Structure 1
Amino acid sequence: MEKQKQTSHRWALALFTIGVFMAGLDNGIISTALTTINDSFNVSPSWGAWSITLYTLGIAISVPIIGKLSDRYGRRRLFIVEIALFGVGSLLVALSPTFAFLLTARFIQAIGGGGIFIIGSSYILSTLPKEKQGKALGMLGGMHGLAAVIGPNMGAVILSLTGSWHWMFLINIPIALFLIIFGFKKIEESNPGTAKPLDIKGTLLLALGILGFMYGITQLNSTAFLTSLMQPNVLPFLAGAIIIFIILIVHERRVEQLGGDPILAYSLMRQRKFQTTLLLGLLSGGFLAGIIFIPAFVQQALHVPVEHAGYWLTPLAIASGIGAGLGGMLTDKHGATRTVILSGIMGIIGFALFPLIVEGFFTFLIASILSGIGLGILLGAPLNVLVGESAKEGEQGSALGTLSLIRQIGLTLFPTIYAGFMTGAFTKVEPAIKESTGETIEAVNGNYGDLIESISQFEDPLVQTNMLEAATEIIRSGFSQMFITAMILSILVMLTGIYLYKKQK
């Protein structure tokens, strides 16, 4: 009986892991083909970006709600529903006759993909013994981190092999069918939760609040961050979302006092440990965003051709997976808070090395491995275990969904800040080139490809070299600002971990 139970757990973990990896790859994959997709539908880059923005909004809305539904109705059932939605959404994206149709399909994809990680994590917290949870959560988190790093490179490979962006989504179909079939056969259904009525009003308030807040964040201008906060497409949405969240908290408190089943447990939100874990979730989003910009650093600061960049980034992806597994083992052995502290230390060292020593492959390898391990540790087990320690039985999915939402907010907000550093650096490129060489280039508008093309217009190789050196120095300064910011976030991760460790003693 015990052996049969272990086999069932292994199958469940394998299926959850594949599902997390499939869903995590998608946004990275599409970023590679964004220009191709925009051209095929004849839409502008600003409109085309909505294929990513809507996916982000869909994930943000779905994760806390799916987490709650998995607590109520069973994790196998919700896992299969999520995979089916993701598969249908992928098929609809590939077959999209218009751009509006594609956007709708991307939203369906996001609703399906957003909850897979939450369902898998809550399954682990509710079924595995505490001493084995770390390793299992580390494996799931490792897939999450690996997908974020591997996605853009895999997208480039698929596009070069097939010549069509449609295959980026069609490859999801057989994987989804496999997961659905074996999910029915191999995953045991968890016991349904409370029979109390679903908190419909709270669910709608939560969805509206998330939609308003995330939309406002996605409309921020990276070149004028503070000024853009006051714009009519930002401030009203952020302010409205905050008001809705206040109404939601009051409503959830009342539902809980009356013995109902709130979509977000008010008693959980009041816990200092859970609040601190959510702060770590926000910081981890900024941590991950810093890693996502490393491919651009490889191409623009180190001048590695696009076709070779994947080789440079492979160690980072592997280090992220190793970090997730290591984080799981350390969480089981030494506890979640010590593991969080270690991830912060690794991030501090790794991100500090990029502006200080990285000039070639060997120094890049050291910095990327350290930061990748730090990311893997943080995205894997420790935060999920901290949430599991805070949540009551039957609340794990909802609590994990809230953590994932906060991380998604960080992953949406910090790239805007980082992009501001890059854009600000590009505004200084033209004056720097003129001062260094006496030559004037065409406006590049923050686009590295346009910069290289403008420099290539000059016939003298020496002039080209001097221009590229001047431009690279300025571009590196933008990346340095980003890496320093990511290092500060890592310091905050470490200090927050120390705070939690001291509170436990």
Structure 2
Amino acid sequence: MKPISAGQDEAAGSTERTPSVRWALAGLSMSMLLSSLGTSIANVGLPTLAQAFSASFQDVQWIVLAYLLAITTVIVSVGRLGDIIGRRRLLLSGIFLFTVASVVGGVAPSLWSLIAARAAQGLGAAVMMALAMAFVGETVPKSRTGSAMGLLGTMSAIGTALGPSLGGALISGLGWRAIFLVNAPLGVLTFLLAHRHLPADKRQPGAVRPRFDHVGTLLLAGTLAAYALAMTMGHGSFGALNMALLSAAAVGVGLFVRAEARAASPLIRLTMFRDPLLSASLAMSTLVSTVMMATLVVGPFYLSRTLGLDAALVGLVLSAGPLVAALTGVPAGRITDRFGPHRMTVVGLIATAAGSFLLSMSPATLGVCGYIAPIAVMTAGYAVFQTANNTAVMTDVPPDQRGVISGTLNLSRNLGLVTGASVMGAVFALSSATTDVTTAPAGAVATGMRVTFAVAAILIVVALAIAVGSRALSRKAEKVE
């Protein structure tokens, strides 16, 4: 990937400490917080929403699923669209859509109108997630990319950690509509910050705007939707519908690759995957996200069934991980700037593997402390990895590719989360030797937890091997050149 020119870096550096840059980063940080808050705050409201609409739990799950599906299917496309029409313009549109959809969801008269509003909200969130990272190269100097990425990661973690507690408080005091309407003032603040302080879109005089790849966009969206539905539908079982969706996703991959190879202005330039560092970063991001999803899949059952905690304490313990990630993000960015992204990527993976291994060996007799301590190590490692990996990818991206690369990086994380919910959930169920984990004996759940995190540790070791191998390939390629 091409490096940013010295002139660009100096230009960014000259404004590094100006209030305008700080406020611009505040706007980008709020974009990340809103998109993550949109996911976590809705989960806690599902039981209340099921009662409010007299709906089954399977039906109200679409409130969460519609949001995640919208993000997963369009995040690469909106990143590329930002590269073409202007990132500032599209980011402002995304914030506006997210805010309006939040209000519409808050006043929705029926379940399916709420689900439609959540899909629109997810589209706005996809724009914010993809373009917030892409804007870093235009707002801070290259030498400070790690710190900026750490800040964005911190705000994302805060949104995830804040969602359950804020959502619970709002539902108790004001009712379920408040968990969507709360985004309105936050969205207005984010829009004002972005509108006032983000740099204007620049176009070279006489430059021809690339055409948007509509065929590639539709194929990719259909493929990702089929895969995400295959991994999430069935409620723990993998039947004929799941296999049909997975087969459709495989066919979609083939069609997409063929279409991109023929497109004059492809959505994704397939040649970019020849870069060993980029391909490795995407693969590692998917693996690590798959593992981190295990904490959300396994944690509630282990804490309630094996350790006997009530719902309030389970929620409190589960918030420990995002809290550690939030506290680690900014320091991780500074350390990445000092020691380099590759070295810190390896350090983050080692810590994540160590936490997974400790959980796989932790006896239930250690109680809550025996769970929280390894989780703290694991999530701190994840925060370091995420910051370093994002920095490694985004530092030297050409300006006209920042949006699509950022979208692809976010997609790899989302695919990991979707895959983890299905695969790690299946590992947990199988190793617990029960058909219904909700009624499994305490000992069986404890065994399932240990086996699941043993598998998680192996996956992180694979990610470590990819990190080391890609670095060796990159150095070999540099010597040849």
TM-score bracket, normalised by the shorter chain, equals 0.7 to 0.9
- Contact 1:276/1:496, CA 8 A, preserved across alignment: yes
- CA shift at 1:314, angstroms? 4.7
Q: Which amino acid is the alignment partner of residue 142 of structure 1?
A: T
Q: Which whole-Å CA distance do the structure 2 matches of 1:197 and 1:357 have between them?
A: 55
- CA shift at 1:241, angstroms? 2.5
Structure 2 counterpart of 1:167, from 159, 166, 178: 178
- Contact 2:301/2:437, CA 8 A, preserved across alignment: no
Q: Please list, as runs of the form range in 1=range in 2, the aligned pairs for 1:314-463 lying within 5 A after superposition.
A: 314-357=319-362, 359-379=366-386, 381-388=387-394, 391-424=397-430, 428=434, 445-447=436-438
Q: Structure 1 regions of 5+ residues with no counterpart? A: 430-444, 452-470
Structure 2 counterpart of 1:89, from 90, 101, 105: 101
Q: Which whole-Å CA distance do the structure 2 matches of 1:311 and 1:53 have between them?
A: 24
Give CA deviations for 1:201-234 in whole Å, capped at 9, x if unaligned: 22222222222222222225534x4xx3xx1x22
Structure 2 counterpart of 1:274, from 278, 290, 293: 278
- CA shift at 1:15, angstroms? 1.1
Give CA deviations for 1:38-61 in whole Å, capped at 9, x if unaligned: 221122122222222211110011
Q: Which whole-Å CA distance do the structure 2 matches of 1:299 and 1:157 have between them?
A: 22
Q: Which amino acid is the alignment partner of residue 76 of structure 1?
A: R
Q: Which whole-Å CA distance do the structure 1 matches of 2:354 and 2:271 have between them?
A: 37
Distance 1:26-1:333 versus aligned 2 partners, 3 A rule? same
Give CA deviations for 1:129-156 in whole Å, capped at 9, x if unaligned: 2210011011112222333344233322
Q: Which amino acid is the alignment partner of residue 181 of structure 1?
A: L
- Contact 2:139/2:199, CA 8 A, preserved across alignment: no
- Contact 1:213/1:237, CA 8 A, preserved across alignment: yes
Residue 58 of structure 1: aligned partner: 70
- Contact 2:161/2:323, CA 8 A, preserved across alignment: no
Q: Which amino acid is the alignment partner of residue 90 of structure 1?
A: S
- Contact 2:33/2:155, CA 8 A, preserved across alignment: yes
Q: Which whole-Å CA distance do the structure 2 matches of 1:504 and 1:322 have between them?
A: 32
Q: Which amino acid is the alignment partner of residue 456 of structure 2?
A: A
Asked if 1:105 corresponds to 2:110, the answer is no
Q: Which whole-Å CA distance do the structure 1 matches of 2:27 and 2:312 have between them?
A: 32
- CA shift at 1:286, angstroms? 0.8
Residue 468 of structure 1: aligned partner: none
Asked if 1:287 corresponds to 2:291, the answer is yes
Give CA deviations for 1:48-102 in whole Å, capped at 9, x if unaligned: 2222221111001121011112212222212211111111111121111111111
- Contact 1:274/1:390, CA 8 A, preserved across alignment: no
Q: Which whole-Å CA distance do the structure 1 matches of 2:268 and 2:421 have between them?
A: 28
Asked if 1:23 corresponds to 2:31, the answer is no
Q: Which whole-Å CA distance do the structure 2 matches of 1:127 and 1:180 have between them?
A: 17
Asked if 1:153 corresponds to 2:165, the answer is yes
- Contact 1:285/1:408, CA 8 A, preserved across alignment: yes
Point out the more displaced range, 119-128 or 134-143.
119-128
Give CA deviations for 1:168-196 in whole Å, capped at 9, x if unaligned: 11100011111112221122223248512
Distance 1:331-1:500 versus aligned 2 partners, 3 A rule? farther
Residue 253 of structure 2: aligned partner: 245
Q: Which whole-Å CA distance do the structure 2 matches of 1:246 and 1:361 have between them?
A: 47
Residue 216 of structure 1: aligned partner: 230
Residue 6 of structure 2: aligned partner: none
Q: Which whole-Å CA distance do the structure 2 matches of 1:4 and 1:403 have between them?
A: 25
- Contact 2:284/2:463, CA 8 A, preserved across alignment: yes
- Per the alignment, in what secondary structure is the counterpart of residue 360 of structure 1? helix
- CA shift at 1:289, angstroms? 0.5
Point out the more displaced range, 20-29 or 307-316.
307-316
Q: Which amino acid is the alignment partner of residue 192 of structure 2?
A: I
Distance 1:426-1:480 versus aligned 2 partners, 3 A rule? closer
Point out the more displaced range, 298-307 or 66-75.
298-307
- CA shift at 1:397, angstroms? 1.0
Matched residues, number = 457
- Contact 1:91/1:170, CA 8 A, preserved across alignment: yes
- CA shift at 1:104, angstroms? 0.8
- Per the alignment, in what secondary structure is the counterpart of residue 399 of structure 2? coil
- Per the alignment, in what secondary structure is the counterpart of residue 369 of structure 1? helix
- Per the alignment, in what secondary structure is the counterpart of residue 222 of structure 1? coil
- Contact 2:24/2:194, CA 8 A, preserved across alignment: yes
Residue 117 of structure 1: aligned partner: 129
Q: Which whole-Å CA distance do the structure 2 matches of 1:183 and 1:149 have between them?
A: 24
- Per the alignment, in what secondary structure is the counterpart of residue 308 of structure 2? coil
- Per the alignment, in what secondary structure is the counterpart of residue 17 of structure 1? helix
Q: Structure 2 regions of 5+ residues with no counterpart? A: 1-10, 476-481
Q: Which whole-Å CA distance do the structure 2 matches of 1:350 and 1:179 have between them?
A: 36
Q: Which amino acid is the alignment partner of residue 69 of structure 2?
A: L
Give CA deviations for 1:94-141 in whole Å, capped at 9, x if unaligned: 111111111111100100112212211111134422210011011112
- Contact 1:72/1:192, CA 8 A, preserved across alignment: no
Q: Which whole-Å CA distance do the structure 2 matches of 1:90 and 1:480 have between them?
A: 40
Q: Which amino acid is the alignment partner of residue 377 of structure 1?
A: V
Residue 204 of structure 1: aligned partner: 218
Point out the more displaced range, 311-320 or 78-87.
311-320
Q: Which amino acid is the alignment partner of residue 380 of structure 2?
A: I
Structure 1 counterpart of 2:317, from 281, 294, 312: 312
With normalisation by structure 2, the TM-score equals: 0.88
- Contact 2:341/2:388, CA 8 A, preserved across alignment: yes
Q: Which whole-Å CA distance do the structure 2 matches of 1:216 and 1:361 have between them?
A: 34
- Contact 1:338/1:501, CA 8 A, preserved across alignment: no
Q: Please list, as runs of the form range in 1=range in 2, the aligned pairs for 1:5-24 lying within 5 A after superposition.
A: 6-24=18-36
- CA shift at 1:298, angstroms? 2.8
- Contact 1:421/1:479, CA 8 A, preserved across alignment: no
- The percent identity for this pair of structures is 22
Distance 1:310-1:212 versus aligned 2 partners, 3 A rule? closer
Q: Which whole-Å CA distance do the structure 2 matches of 1:483 and 1:115 have between them?
A: 33
Distance 1:417-1:63 versus aligned 2 partners, 3 A rule? same
Residue 432 of structure 1: aligned partner: none
Residue 443 of structure 2: aligned partner: 473
- Contact 2:26/2:193, CA 8 A, preserved across alignment: no
- CA shift at 1:11, angstroms? 1.0
- CA shift at 1:404, angstroms? 1.3
- Per the alignment, in what secondary structure is the counterpart of residue 199 of structure 2? coil
- Per the alignment, in what secondary structure is the counterpart of residue 394 of structure 1? helix
- CA shift at 1:311, angstroms? 4.1
